[in-house]
Amino acid sequence: MNFDPPPIRSLLFVPANRADRMQKALASDADGVVFDLESAITRGTAAEARANVAQALESHNPDQPAVLVRVSAVGTDDFAPDIEACLHPLLTAVMLPQVAHPDEVSITHDALDGTNTLIMPLVETASAVRLAYELATASDRVAYMGGATGRHGDLGRSVGFQWTPEGTETLYLRQKVLIDVRAAEVPNPLSGLWGTIDDLDGLTRLARQTRQFGYEGMMVIHPSHIPIVNQIFSPAPTEIDAWHRLIAAVEEHEARGVGAFRYEGRLIDHAHLLTARQNLTRAKRLKLI
């Protein structure tokens, strides 16, 4: 399957039984929104929530944020109706919760046959952490994936860690999953999230650490988190300018037969050229160039 998943820095969750919030999310600066049919809706509202999702997708403008839908887990009675309700040409991806085995990703892949819909498996169990590479390679539709560490959430319950604002208890978890996802060539690794709405300093620390690890974006739970996350996961104009200058310098030296040379106090070679080009490609996809 050939796909070109839209880059996502910020992925905002919205309960699918709140049509008003869904429309506000689509008007936000988030790169993507998740209409949640699983854990965020109240009991007895599934039919209404599915109708809201179908209506939102039918009226969706492609210039708005990418739309993902978190469906119920594979094996539950709600999985098939959730999939049926959200299938639409403008649906970017299905978010798959509580994944414990690659077969669940394969089943979802088959359920999406005949569409261009992508898959984002959520790493919410110890089994998913252990099998992250296998999950990521179970379907060529997997375009978004990563280690998420919400406070007192599913993964914390499964692993048993005690959450701290510093996140030291999940350093290995998040890095391990990222390496597996990168090795599987998943194009847009996403992590997160920060659950304390008003603690923007804590969000900033987590977002910076997540970007430094190598993730491309984060899941967020409140619109106030979007500008911080977008800014941290976007290259600054000074960085873009520096990559342009470095590329020009390497190309100039290579034309003269020089492979490695001193540049602004550093030793530079062809590997730095490839990294700079990759960074510029991402900046272009984010429409920053």
Same domain, 213 and 86: yes
Same domain, 75 and 88: yes
What is the bridge-based pairing of β-strands 261-263 and 266-268?
Answer: antiparallel
Interval 225-283: pLDDT, tens: 999 999 999 999 999 999 999 999 999 999 999 999 999 999 999 999 999 999 999 99
Q: Is residue 4 part of a domain?
A: no
Q: Is residue 1 part of a domain?
A: no
Counts for the chain of helices (H) and strands (E), in that order = 12, 10
Same domain, 191 and 278: no
CA 220, CA 226: separation in Å to the nearest integer? 7
CB 11 within 8 A of CB 216: no
For 80, the token pair is 């098939």
For 236, the token pair is 């600054």
Q: Is residue 141 part of a domain?
A: yes
Work out how many domains the chain is built from and give that number. 2
Task: Note the pLDDT of residue 2.
Answer: 67
> Whose CA is closest to 74, among 35, 36, 106?
106
Tokens 């007192």 appear where? 152
- Phi/psi at 217 (5° precision): -175, -175
Same domain, 262 and 174: no
**How many CA within 13 A on the CB side of residue 155?**
24
Query: Is it the case that residue 64 has pLDDT exceeding 70?
Result: yes
Domain of 210, CATH number, reads 3.20.20.60
Same domain, 221 and 245: no
Interval 142-197: pLDDT, tens: 999 998 777 777 888 888 888 888 888 889 999 999 999 999 999 999 998 898 99
Task: Note the pLDDT of residue 151.
Answer: 76
Task: Note the pLDDT of residue 181.
Answer: 97
Task: Note the pLDDT of residue 22.
Answer: 96
Q: Is residue 91 part of a domain?
A: yes
Which residues face 142 on adjacent strands?
A: 119
Same domain, 259 and 195: no
> Whose CA is closest to 171, among 195, 189, 197, 147?
147
Task: Note the pLDDT of residue 167.
Answer: 86
**Residue where one domain finishes, among candidates 207, 232, 257:** 232
Residue 82 to residues 49, 50, 74, 190, Cα–Cα distance (Å): 9, 7, 10, 23
Task: Note the pLDDT of residue 71.
Answer: 97
Q: Is residue 147 part of a domain?
A: yes
Interval 1-57: pLDDT, tens: 667 899 999 999 999 999 999 999 999 999 999 999 997 777 778 999 999 999 999
**Residue where one domain finishes, among candidates 197, 213, 232:** 232
Same domain, 176 and 280: no
Q: Is residue 5 part of a domain?
A: no
- Phi/psi at 190 (5° precision): -125, 140
Same domain, 137 and 85: yes
Same domain, 123 and 263: no
Same domain, 253 and 128: no
Q: Is residue 2 part of a domain?
A: no
**Residue where one domain finishes, among candidates 232, 249, 275:** 232
CA 13, CA 220: separation in Å to the nearest integer? 6
Same domain, 120 and 185: yes
Same domain, 228 and 241: no
Task: Note the pLDDT of residue 45.
Answer: 84
- Residue 69 makes CB contacts below 8 A (sequence gap 6+) with 16, 34, 35, 36, 37, 53, 82, 86, 91, 93, 94, 95
Residue 155 CA, chain-centre distance (Å), reads 17
Task: Note the pLDDT of residue 1.
Answer: 61
Residue 145 CA, chain-centre distance (Å), reads 6
Average the pLDDT over 69-92 and give the result.
96
Range of the domain at 131: 10-232
